Structure 1
């Protein structure tokens, strides 16, 4: 998936989560956007990879693309670090939700992800989208509609 699809996915997931929590929605969604791009730190052409090129090249050299940073292990380690050092729960939750949405969206691509890294098993959905293709555009449109729906529920409650 492209960066814009990951970002809208992070927004939609964060807004959905905001409906069932009392966290500050702005912090939650803002962190969700950042979390949605973090797993692609392993790809030097990604938004975050271009922002932090030295870190991106180092992580890619150590692990490759869609392995460690797209795994449950990475999510668990991030959750542990956030629990240890982050005092604002809305930010921690948003980051993790954004990261999880990124991984789920990449599971919907032909390349899939190494969800159980360090094991080399590739996990992908039975029906996949082509990155940058029409199918990804449809995913983007669906996520945009979900963003409006969940955003309405969060920011304009009945």
Structure 2
């Protein structure tokens, strides 16, 4: 998936999570967007890869794309780092929700992800799409509509 689809996926996921949790939807929203971008640190052309090119290059050289940073192991390590060094649980949860949304969206692509890294098993859904294709555009549109719906619900119920 493209960066824009990951961003709107992070928005939709974090606002949906706000519906069933006690966390501040504004914090979840911001953290969810950041989390939705983090897994692509392994790709130099990604939004986060362009911001941190040296880190991106090192991670890509060691692990490649859609392996370690798209795994449950990486998700767990990020969770440990965030809970150790951040005292704001809403930020931690928002980042993790955004990362999970990224994983789910990339599992819908033909290349899938190495969710169980270091195992070399590729995980993808039975029906997949091409990154940047027409189906991704429909996914983006659906996630945008869900973001509006969940956003309305989150902010009406919380403010």
**Shared fold, TM over 0.5:** yes
State the partner residue of 2:111: 111
The yes-or-no answer on 1:53 pairing with 2:53 is yes
Gaps of 5+ in 1: none
C-alpha deviations, 1:82-108, integer Å up to 9, x for none? 111110011000000001100110000
Residue 26 of structure 1, CA deviation? 0.8
Report the equivalent of 1:74: 74
Deviations 1:90-138 (A, max 9, x none): 1000000001100110000000000000000000000111111100001
Q: Take 1:68 and 1:123, find their aligned partners in 2: how far apart are those partners?
A: 13
* Residue 100 of structure 1: aligned partner: 100
When the two structures are superposed, what TM-score results if normalisation uses the length of structure 2?
0.97
Query: Cα 1:24–1:157, aligned 2, differ >3 Å: closer, same or farther?
Result: closer
Q: Match for residue 42 of structure 2?
A: 42
Extract unaligned runs of 5+ from structure 2: none
Q: Which residue of 2 aligns with 1:32?
A: 32
Looking at structure 2, the residues matched to 112 and 128 of structure 1 have their Cα atoms a distance apart, in angstroms, of 8
Report the number of matched residues: 158
Deviation at 1:11, TM superposition (A): 0.3
- 1:3 Cα offset (Å): 0.2
Q: Which runs of 4+ in 1 moved over 3 A?
A: none
**RMSD of equivalent CA atoms:** 1.0
